[in-house]
Amino acid sequence: MAINAEEFRAAMGTWPSGVTIITARAGEEIHGMTVSDFSGVSLDPPLVLVCASKSSHTTSVIQKGENFGVNVLRVDQDALSNKFASKKNEWNRFDDVATFEVKTGAPLIADALVNLDCRLVALHDAGDHVLCVGEIESATVNEGQPLLYFKGGYGRFEPKG
Ligand SMILES: Cc1cc2nc3c(=O)[nH]c(=O)nc-3n(C[C@H](O)[C@H](O)[C@H](O)COP(=O)(O)O)c2cc1C
């Protein structure tokens, strides 16, 4: 018998990750949400994947527009992470957030640690989520420290002395 939701959360919560905001554009419509399930996939071609809930509005914009932006958050951007995860004022998430575009039209968050502009190349069904695979069209890497997520809380990277 498969494990229950509580057991799944307890197990997966021990896997530390960075925090991203995944953004997308379909015509005039833009949207975005906080995502920790992000991974590099392939070097040649350069592919990444995002594990997105089927019930998320961002997922439907990714599917419609066939693009997404990956914005890796800085250590001091936990409030931005919470803003893009909250359903309260969901349609105003981009208020006061400076963005820019490069090739695909996905809005990229100006002061993130890393911005990847991705063209959607594949979607894979995975239970209540969908794996969105994107080819990186452009990458911007800035100096700074990442925001980390572990056991349901935020933290910072501390190098071993
Ligand atoms: C730290 C953190 C990590 C998250 N990671 C994911 C994720 O990997 N995939 C996902 O679908 N939702 C993830 N979420 C939840 C979404 O951000 C949340 O459900 C959001 O409200 C979806 O917005 P939307 O329906 O407007 O797209 C995460 C939330 C937080 C706070």
Mark 33-70 as b/e (b = at least 16 C-beta within 10 Å): bbbbbbeeeeeeeebbbbbbeeebbbbbbbbebbbbbb
The predicted pLDDT at position 26 comes to 98
State yes or no: pLDDT of 59 exceeds 80.
yes
State yes or no: pLDDT of 1 exceeds 90.
no
CA torsion sign for 53, 86, 145, 9 is negative
The predicted pLDDT at position 81 comes to 98
pTM: 0.98
Tell me the CA–centroid distance for residue 33 and ligand 1, in Å.
Answer: 6
DSSP state of 146: B
pLDDT in tens, 135-151: 999 999 999 999 999 99
Tell me how far apart the alpha carbons of residues 150 and 146 are, in angstroms, rounded to a whole number: 13
Tell me how far apart the alpha carbons of residues 25 and 64 are, in angstroms, rounded to a whole number: 8
pLDDT in tens, 101-120: 999 999 999 999 999 999 99
The predicted pLDDT at position 21 comes to 99
Tell me the CA–centroid distance for residue 44 and ligand 1, in Å.
Answer: 28
The predicted pLDDT at position 159 comes to 94
Tell me the CA–centroid distance for residue 34 and ligand 1, in Å.
Answer: 5
Tell me the CA–centroid distance for residue 160 and ligand 1, in Å.
Answer: 30
Tell me how far apart the alpha carbons of residues 104 and 30 are, in angstroms, rounded to a whole number: 12
**Hey, which residues does 134 pair with through a beta bridge?**
48, 120
Q: Which CATH number fits domain 18-147: 3.40.50.300, 2.40.10.120, 3.30.565.10, 2.30.110.10?
A: 2.30.110.10
- Tokens 């392939």 label which residue? 42
135 in contact with ligand 1, CB cutoff 6 A: no
Nearest C-alpha neighbor of 145 from the set 70, 74, 78 = 74
The predicted pLDDT at position 17 comes to 98
pLDDT in tens, 18-52: 999 999 999 999 999 999 999 999 999 999 999 99
Mark 89-113 as b/e (b = at least 16 C-beta within 10 Å): eeeebbeebebebeebbbbbbeebb
State yes or no: pLDDT of 94 exceeds 90.
yes
State the average pLDDT for the chain: 97
State yes or no: pLDDT of 156 exceeds 90.
yes
131 in contact with ligand 1, CB cutoff 6 A: no
